[in-house]
Amino acid sequence: MSGIEGKVVAITGASSGIGAATAAYLAERGARLVLGARREDRLKEVVDGILARGGTAAGVVMDVTRRDGLTLLTDTALDRFGRLDVLVSNAGTMAVSPFDELRQDDWDAMVATHITGLLNGVGAALPVFRRQGSGHFVNVASTAAYVVKTPQGVYAATKTAVKVLTEGLRQESGPDLRVTLVSPGLTDTEGVGKGASPETAEAMTRLRDEIGAPPSAVAAAIGFAIGQPDGVDISEVVVRPTAQA
């Protein structure tokens, strides 16, 4: 199946930011969506917006750090649409802080969301893709997977893990599956600075407001990868503001 139209796409972290923009972008092009996140009200707004514009979408309240969250997402795709063509693992947290603040709960959340969450997606979707003989993993990392900037050590480490896991998965995926890494730079979303230590949050949101790329740019990069013909894999995309150092 080529193009975007008709594809069944599950997206984690679809209640805001890049995930919500990707959902809107793909819905406009005829994808059938299964959208996951924890905040039910925000997820409902995204789903309702897509339905109001004539698109097809279902919302699933789920947590990527739990295996059953991802199986709920993939099971919903199979129950509603009979298949799953793409899993976009996008859920993330940017609660960054200097090591001296010892925000261990935030460190744990980044590891659980970015690494365990990604692996939970592989666990839920890979058997489905193998049965179908087709499928596409799209994993959202960050430019922090390429350059470490203080105080983003833990965040950068977990996003580097996303990059490494994605390449390992690609090498094992064989000729029938596709695996794409999309690494955004600074993007204008509510997640920038959310939960970060106050000084860092202020600096991050100021820079976001000055130079942040629109989340629709990342959505378009994801859509580009999904829209390729069978047998063509866009393995890696970095999309960032021109002004980002």
Ligand X SMILES: NC(=O)c1ccc[n+]([C@@H]2O[C@H](COP(=O)([O-])OP(=O)(O)OC[C@H]3O[C@@H](n4cnc5c(N)ncnc54)[C@H](OP(=O)(O)O)[C@@H]3O)[C@@H](O)[C@H]2O)c1
Residues that bind ligand X (CB under 6 A): 12-19, 37-39, 42, 63-65, 90-94, 113, 140, 142, 184, 186-187, 189-192, 194
User: Which secondary-structure segment (H or E) carries 34?
Assistant: strand 32-37
Q: How many whole angstroms from its chain centre is CA 140?
A: 4
Name the residue nearer to ligand X (CB basis): 18 or 57: 18
Name the residue nearer to ligand X (CB basis): 84 or 95: 95
CB of 163 to ligand X, least distance (A): 12
Question: Which residue from 81, 91, 69, 82 is spatially nearest to 32, judged by alpha carbons?
Answer: 81
Name the residue nearer to ligand X (CB basis): 105 or 190: 190
CB of 132 to ligand X, least distance (A): 24
Name the residue nearer to ligand X (CB basis): 181 or 234: 181
CB of 46 to ligand X, least distance (A): 9
CB of 167 to ligand X, least distance (A): 17
Number of helices followed by number of strands (H, E) in the chain: 8, 7
146 catalytic residue (yes or no): no
The 10 Å CB-count burial string (b at 16+, else e) for 112-138 is: bbbbbbbbbbbebbbebbeeeebbbbb
CB of 173 to ligand X, least distance (A): 21
Rounded CA gap, 75 and 217, in Å?
29
CA distances in angstroms from 203 to 13, 34, 210, listed in the order given: 24, 34, 11
Name the residue nearer to ligand X (CB basis): 132 or 216: 216
Q: Which of 155, 165, 186, 189 is catalytic?
A: 155
Could you tell me the two tokens for 33? Answer: 């969506």
Counting Cβ atoms within 10 Å, is residue 71 exposed (0-12), middle (13-18) or buried (19+)? middle
Could you tell me the two tokens for 191? Answer: 């997640």
Cite the active site residues: 155
